[in-house]
Structure 1
Amino acid sequence: MNRTNKLSVIGIAVFTGVAIMGDAMLSIVLPIYWSDMGLTAVWQVGVLLSINRFVRLPINPLVGFFYRHYSLRLGISIAMGLAIVSTFSYGIFSQFSILVMMRIVWGIAWSLLRLGGFLSIIQLTSKTDRGQFIGLYNGVWGIGSLIGMLVGGLLIAETSIRFITTLFGLIGCVTFPFVPFLTPSGKKEPTVQKTTTDQQKPLLALDQFVLTLSTSMVMGLLIFGVFSNTLSARIDQSYQDNWTFMSFAFTSTAIAGIIQAVRWGWAPFLAPFIGKYLDHTKHKQQALICFLLSLSALFALIGSINQISFVIVLLLLFQFVSTGFVTTTDTIASDLAEKGDSIKVITFHTIMVDTGAALGPLLAFGLLEYFPLRVVYLIASILLFVLAIGWISWLRKKQNDPFAFSVRK
């Protein structure tokens, strides 16, 4: 990748990170300060934090259609504008109905940003460096989420929601003029490469497509859905002490926030490193299988161990492995998109991730009505294990050798 293209990938990641700061702040602040935003019932908190995810399910196909006919630059510019408007609105409006509309606006903005970001990376990179820059992209925009959570959590007690949202909105305004200079201008036209071999093996291509989308779904369901939304509850089950540092008391929520912050902190370094490895190996699927089996084992262990110190170590290890899992899944999906209709494949990928992320909390807390958390984690462990078996079976079929696990390039 030349220097200009690398700068474009970093720029798009920065735009995404700036856009998501308001949303990340809201996820930390809203559950506690919901009355300060004019809400009158706790259920309204759940609606505001989830409506943006559900709206992306029908919106993603429309965004894919948009990018077939209009440029990536236009789409990301619109997304940044919508993100700025929604961020400012959190501190201006106190009517629940208006806030719901603004969260829907944010959902549309995120769909434009996420799909536009992936398509930009496919356009700007090749198979030799795509994994590295997908990792860089995910890591850099993750810093925006980290800033939103930390700044929101620290400043809310000393200032106000309006101050924080205005600050983040102004940062968005400052970055907006740079969008035309750091975003690809052309449309990402779908390309379909067909060979005689491809035409002779439609079943294998379909198997890979289904497995990739299943992995996208599981990633959203278990990593962004179940794990993220049950992290505090899992820590609270084992945390019976009152740890303090310089008169600061560590609650279960604080520990969960630190664990999440650590993940976003190392992502800009770890994700590109993993991506670079993926670029130089013919064994991306084998790496994915290792991550799936590792996460399966970690889910089972986290659900069964009660000693808080061991739980924290396992949670940090889970965050480490999940970073590799997300980077690998995104890279495999992007490689698959390059071989065919890129807009269609990436649209399906984002739809499946969003569907999983939206269903994850509903599934987790629905099961918690009847079963303990360890059962939820055990189900997650089994699901990851079954998916790993699916990939192993696909590799064996592709190689036409039941004992071979290497993939022909």
Structure 2
Amino acid sequence: MEKTSSKSNIIITALITGICLLTDSMLYIALPLYWKEAGLSSLIEVGLLLSVNRLIRIPLNPFAAFITRTLNLRLSLLLAICLTIIVNIGFFSLNGLLFWLILRCVWGFAWALLRLTGHLMVVQLSTNSNKGHLMGMYNGTYRLGSLAGMTIGGFLCYQIGLKLTCLVFACICSLAIPFIFFLSYKSLPPRQESGIVKISLLKKRGIQLSLFRGFIVSFLLQGVFLSTVSFYLSKHYGGTLTFNGILLTSGVVSGLLLGMRWAWEPFLAPFIGRISDGKWGRHSILLSALLIIGSLYPFMDSQLPFMIWGLIIIAILICSTIITTLTDTLVSDEAYQIEGRTSLINYYSIAVDFGAALGPLIAYQFITEGKLFLFLCSGLAICLAMISSNEHLKQKDKCSSVTQ
């Protein structure tokens, strides 16, 4: 497939994914603040709802992989869009933990379809010389949906309420359907792999490290960090903040802060990916970003001047872009070299979902206990940096001994 066609297929798929992400991203900001409007009774239920869509993907990811292999690309994405629209309408019309729990589970399956399709497409349509760049382009483009969801969604929730915001996003999701017909049928997933291939994958040390890395990174960044920023902001600075005489709610401010990542992601993620394709490599950049994350995490629960606190959040967000891009690219490097690439991406998705699901669930169990939990998160980031760096040095030494 030609380079321009490869990029266009990846960008279109990423745009569809971004549109479907609007409500999910908005809920990470709005639900910890407007949970009573959804008929919930406690913050623990908030943590459960922000986790269950990822927990349910653990058993459903294999089924999502089967769907992407059985249906063509357009039908798989169409199914995901329709499920997203149904979920948004359900959020608008239904109240209570049970109904929202079911709806979040349905969304979890829709997201599994979206992400599996996108990652497989990058693996198939890239080479060793451009894999980091194309993965960064895919991640950066679909995260524009997170930008809109957090910034516009946070504002809309304050103006018209959580329920009506979900209905507005349902209407916007229907606009993603025409994009499907611009996709090429050439971007189909690879054939079914044998059971022997699937089992043998998990015995490889490099693949084990990729899965562990995906779990820890998603736990720290997609799980704990993303779901607690609005809580810590409201805890230390109140429900409203004033900037040059302009009064903003904590939901809007946290949405603007977190949304900044998705504003620079379309530019920073491909840039980081392109650098990692060159002489810098992926591991040295990843090590630096993980160490920075580890040193900054405890400051989230600190009564600092807001400008300093906000800069710390922005620094974590920049490192999040770098880390996510590189961890996704590293697993794509592994998948590019093996026969069972669909199974590997599926295993990686399960690891990422498990980590991201445990994040909010555990965070909201210990969030009132002080900084100890955040110090433990810092330790995890630093340990992962050391493990990844050590493994990379071992592989480098092995390659050097072979060439000598």
Place the TM-score, normalised by the shorter chain, in its bin.
0.7 to 0.9
| Contact 1:156/1:164 (8 A) holds in 2 | yes
The more displaced of 41-50 and 271-280 is 41-50
Q: Which residue of 2 aligns with 1:397?
A: 394
Per-residue CA deviation, residues 199-235 of structure 1 (Å, 9 max, x unaligned), is xxx9998221111111100111101112222323444
Asked if 1:174 corresponds to 2:153, the answer is no
Q: Which residue of 2 aligns with 1:351?
A: 350
Question: CA separation of 1:342/1:251 partners in 2, compared to 1, >3 Å: closer, same or farther?
Answer: same
Asked if 1:131 corresponds to 2:128, the answer is no
Counterpart of 1:379, as a letter, is L
Q: Distance in 1 between matches of 2:318 and 2:59?
A: 32
Q: Which residue of 2 aligns with 1:197?
A: none
Counterpart of 2:73, as a letter, is L
Q: Distance in 2 between matches of 1:233 and 1:162?
A: 20
Q: Which residue of 2 aligns with 1:67?
A: 68
Asked if 1:50 corresponds to 2:51, the answer is yes
Q: Which residue of 1 aligns with 2:144?
A: 143
Q: How many residues align?
A: 394
Q: 2:289 aligns with which of 282, 285, 291?
A: 291
Per-residue CA deviation, residues 325-359 of structure 1 (Å, 9 max, x unaligned), is 00000111111111121111111111111111111
Question: CA separation of 1:352/1:155 partners in 2, compared to 1, >3 Å: closer, same or farther?
Answer: same
The more displaced of 386-395 and 295-304 is 295-304
Counterpart of 1:154, as a letter, is F
Q: Which residue of 1 aligns with 2:78?
A: 77
- Considering only aligned residues, what root-mean-square deviation do their CA atoms show, in Å? 3.2
| Contact 2:50/2:227 (8 A) holds in 1 | no
Q: Distance in 1 between matches of 2:354 and 2:378?
A: 19
Question: CA separation of 1:183/1:159 partners in 2, compared to 1, >3 Å: closer, same or farther?
Answer: farther
Q: Which residue of 1 aligns with 2:377?
A: 380
Question: 1:290 aligns to what SS in structure 2?
Answer: helix
Q: Superposition pairs for residues 289-368 of structure 1, below 5 Å?
A: 289-299=287-297, 306-340=304-338, 341-368=340-367
Q: Superposition pairs for residues 78-157 of structure 1, below 5 Å?
A: 78-94=79-95, 97-157=98-158
Q: Which residue of 2 aligns with 1:199?
A: none
* Unaligned segments of structure 1, at least 5 residues: 193-201
Counterpart of 1:387, as a letter, is L
Question: CA separation of 1:309/1:161 partners in 2, compared to 1, >3 Å: closer, same or farther?
Answer: closer
Provide TM-score, normalisation by structure 2: 0.86
Q: Which residue of 2 aligns with 1:188?
A: 190
| Contact 2:52/2:104 (8 A) holds in 1 | yes
Per-residue CA deviation, residues 236-265 of structure 1 (Å, 9 max, x unaligned), is 565489852354335554443222011111
Question: CA separation of 1:307/1:155 partners in 2, compared to 1, >3 Å: closer, same or farther?
Answer: closer
Q: Distance in 1 between matches of 2:279 and 2:41?
A: 52
Question: 1:400 aligns to what SS in structure 2?
Answer: helix
* Unaligned segments of structure 2, at least 5 residues: 195-199
Question: 2:191 aligns to what SS in structure 1?
Answer: coil
| Contact 2:193/2:343 (8 A) holds in 1 | no
Among the aligned pairs, what percent are the same residue?
Answer: 32
Q: Distance in 2 between matches of 1:273 and 1:389?
A: 25
Per-residue CA deviation, residues 23-70 of structure 1 (Å, 9 max, x unaligned), is 223334444444544x26336544443322221111112222333444
Q: Superposition pairs for residues 228-243 of structure 1, below 5 Å?
A: 228-236=226-234, 239=237
The more displaced of 171-180 and 216-225 is 171-180
Quote how far apart the aligned CAs of 1:291 are.
2.0
Question: CA separation of 1:204/1:391 partners in 2, compared to 1, >3 Å: closer, same or farther?
Answer: farther
Q: Superposition pairs for residues 211-222 of structure 1, below 5 Å?
A: 211-222=209-220
| Contact 1:69/1:187 (8 A) holds in 2 | no
| Contact 1:76/1:112 (8 A) holds in 2 | yes
| Contact 1:274/1:324 (8 A) holds in 2 | yes
The more displaced of 278-287 and 347-356 is 278-287
Question: CA separation of 1:401/1:204 partners in 2, compared to 1, >3 Å: closer, same or farther?
Answer: farther
Q: Distance in 2 between matches of 1:407 and 1:291?
A: 31
Q: Distance in 2 between matches of 1:101 and 1:204?
A: 32
Q: Which residue of 1 aligns with 2:197?
A: none
| Contact 2:51/2:358 (8 A) holds in 1 | no
Question: CA separation of 1:73/1:221 partners in 2, compared to 1, >3 Å: closer, same or farther?
Answer: same
Q: Which residue of 2 aligns with 1:5?
A: 6
Question: CA separation of 1:305/1:122 partners in 2, compared to 1, >3 Å: closer, same or farther?
Answer: same
Q: Distance in 2 between matches of 1:65 and 1:359?
A: 25
Q: Distance in 1 between matches of 2:261 and 2:232?
A: 17
Counterpart of 1:352, as a letter, is A
| Contact 2:121/2:189 (8 A) holds in 1 | no
Runs of 4+ in 1 over 6 A off after TM superposition: 202-205
Q: Which residue of 1 aligns with 2:260?
A: 262
Counterpart of 1:177, as a letter, is P
Q: Which residue of 1 aligns with 2:41?
A: 41
Quote how far apart the aligned CAs of 1:75 are.
1.9
Provide TM-score, normalisation by structure 1: 0.85
